[in-house]
Amino acid sequence: MDYKVMSSTVEQTREWGKQLGARLRGGDVVTLIGDLGAGKTAFAQGVGQALDVNGPMTSPTFTLIHEYVAQLTGTRVRLIHMDLYRLQRPEEVEVIGVEDAFVEDAVCLIEWPEIAEDYLPEDRLEVEIIGSGEQSREIIFRVKDLAWERRLKDMT
């Protein structure tokens, strides 16, 4: 099932990320799909706000992976933010250890996940952001199982 919302500003995109962040649990994997400039990193920053990440969250485009200390209902977890844009071959996903982030004491956000499709867990949440530049964004939450559907139904 898909849930669709609109965002007219970067701040609204961050707020949708924050709302999702409030519903996340350890072990969750969220993929962020969208063109350059769509707002994937702004959305991730909102998730970081919800998880009490201290300090600035920036795009991990050049480092591929940023890891932050976060809080999830009073429990310390890691927020792992990946950007796979620069990867050229699916084998590189294994080399950088993407699957190592799919653990119970972490929440994982993955920008440009398409190259890692074969390595991603089935029970992930896909978030697609459509639009760029000055135009409004449509944010689509693609729910693949009932557990995600229950968590998101009151969000939209």
| CB burial of residue 76 (10 Å; 0-12, 13-18, 19+) | exposed
Evaluate if residue 90 carries a pLDDT over 80: yes
Nearest-angstrom CA–CA distance, 53 and 56: 8
Evaluate if residue 61 carries a pLDDT over 80: no
Split into its structural domains, the chain has a count of 1
Q: What is the pLDDT of residues 96-153, one digit of tens each?
A: 888 899 999 999 999 999 999 999 999 999 999 999 888 899 999 998 888 898 888 8
At 98 the three-state DSSP class reads: helix
- pLDDT above 90 as % of the chain: 67
Per-residue tokens: 91: 């084998």
pLDDT at residue 156 in the model? 63
The amino acid at residue 86 is R
Instruction: Residue 99: give the domain boundaries.
Output: 2-152
